[in-house]
Each structure stands twice: as C-alpha cells, then as structure tokens.
Amino acid sequence: MATILETCRVPAPRGAAAEQSVPLTFFDIHWLHLHPIRQLLFYDYPCSKPHFLETIAPKLKESLSLSLRHYLPVAGDLIYPLNSEKKPEIRYVAGDSAVSLTIAESGSDFDVLIGNHARDADQFYEFVPQIDPVTDESVCQRVPVMALKVTLFPGRGICVGFANLHCLGDASSLAGFIQAWASISKLGGDEEFLTKQGESLPIVDRVVIKDPLGIDTIFWKVIGEVPLKSSSFPLPTNRVRATYVLRQADVKKLKDLVLAKKPGLVQVSSFVVTGVLCVDLLGEIWGAS
C-alpha cells in the first residue's frame, strides 16, 4: 500500500494572469459526464527517501508552478451552470485556483509494475490521484479539472500519476503540459523552455473554433439536464494489464505480409499495419467472448 507523505495545492507563480476563463466548445461538452482520463508515468530513478523529500519533491513543486503559468486552465475548475441558458467553462482565478498534488511512498515491487507481463490491474490504482469531489453552489457545480500524484519507490524509481477531465484538452494538449513540466524541471526554470519551445504553447482562445450551426447549444441542452457526479473507480476490476512490444523486425514482417497479399500498394506505414493488427486481435477477443 502507498503511504501519503504530503498533500498540497500548487498555484501558478506570482505574475501569472489574474484570471482566465475558457468556454467549452462542442468538442468538449460531449465528454462532460465521462470518467476522468488517468495515466501513470514510471521513471527508473533510484534515490533515497531523504533525497526525494529534500530535493526532488521541492523541485517538482517549483517546476509545476512555473508550468502552470503557461497552462493556467490546468489549475482551474470546471464551472457547470445549473441554468442551462449559461454554458460551462474552465475558470482560473489567481489566489483561488491551484492543482492538487499528493506526495506518496510505496513498498510495491517497481519492476513488476513496469514489466510487460500480465499483472493484476488493481495494483496500479493506488498511484492514480483522485480528483476532488464535485462542489454544489447556488448557481453552479464546481470541480477541479486535474489532480496529480507523485509516488516514490525508495531506491528504485518514481511514478507520476495524472487524472484530468476530458474537457481540459485533447491528448496533444495534455502531452504538451507534461513535456513542459518535465523540461522546466530539467532546465531549472522556464526562460530556456520558452526560448526552445515557446511556439508550442497551447492556444486557449476558443474564437478560432467556428460553430455556425450552434452544435454546442444542442449538446448542452441535453447534457446540461444531468448533474455532475464525483468520479470514482470501484475495485476490484477483475482485469489484468499487459504490454505488447512490436520491434522493428516484427513490423517489417507485418508489412511484408500485407504487400504479399496486396502487391499493388505503393506504401504501407508502420502505423497502419500496427493498427490493423490491434483491430484484428480485438475482433478475435470479442468473438471468443
């Protein structure tokens, strides 16, 4: 079992914008009642508990705060109006908004967790952060859009867990935030990060998304009738988790197999043959069940 060492809220640094509101579009509204996205990143980084608490954890907090300067919605809350005439938005307010960060320690076998073999999926959930419950207010419901958890495996490695609402952004946006946090932590500040990767910062201005048919209004009239519920993941899941690795030689065999059956194809990409393999295997699994 993981032991919680600290729970804190990390705000954007002083000098960041005082307030920012990001209206949700029809791309976002559709996913409001879906469970949060949860992901874990494991880092092979042997270090002692004292070194982690005295050096690594403070550095992660500082770099997280600096990263939030450029990703303010990450520190914000989803505002879910009770009046369907108003539409939901992500709202950041300096002095009030922050990201929940949990620091923990685990005695679990790090090598088992990062292995490729089939293992009990339930053991991963203790490293996933829990987004704070939905808060009911007079005119709206409010819930944070992200939570973070960093777990130390003394002498072996570190796990960084993320949980975020779908409306916060797509996979590319979230990957950008993670990369920004990692880069700023490595560089010790955001000045060099801005020099090297400033052009990759997110665009939160929703004016660029055109909706002449009012699809967001159509979605919201239906979805807004259902109140938000706090997220949970009941255990046990009765599932296993495994990783399957396709090496270059394996991909080449797949391409050769496709070209042998379809010699007229000009090009067969690695992405296509891998995707077809996955779909084919899923079809076999569903057929067997």
pLDDT of 125 above 90: yes
In CATH, 2-241 is 3.40.50.360: no
Classified as helix, coil or strand, 136 is strand
Give the model's confidence band at 289: pLDDT under 50 very low, under 70 low, under 90 confident, else very high.
low
Backbone angles phi, psi at 241, to 5 degrees: -125, 135
The ranges assigned to domains in the chain are 2-241, 248-288
CA distance linking residue 3 with residue 41, whole number of Å: 18
Report the chain's mean pLDDT, rounded to a whole number.
Answer: 93
Classified as helix, coil or strand, 7 is strand
Rounded to an integer, the average pLDDT of 111-138 is: 96
SS (H, E, C) 226-276: CCCCCCCCCCCCCCEECCCCCCHHHHHHHHHHHHHHCCCCCCCCHHHHHHH
The strands making up 99-106's β-sheet, listed across from edge to edge, are 2-10, 99-106, 146-153, 157-164, 37-43
**pLDDT digit string, tens, across residues 61-88:** 999 999 999 999 999 999 999 987 899 9
pLDDT of 288 above 90: no
Classified as helix, coil or strand, 194 is helix
Higher-scoring residue by pLDDT: 288, 96: 96
CA distance linking residue 138 with residue 80, whole number of Å: 11
| The residue to which tokens 């450029």 are assigned | 70
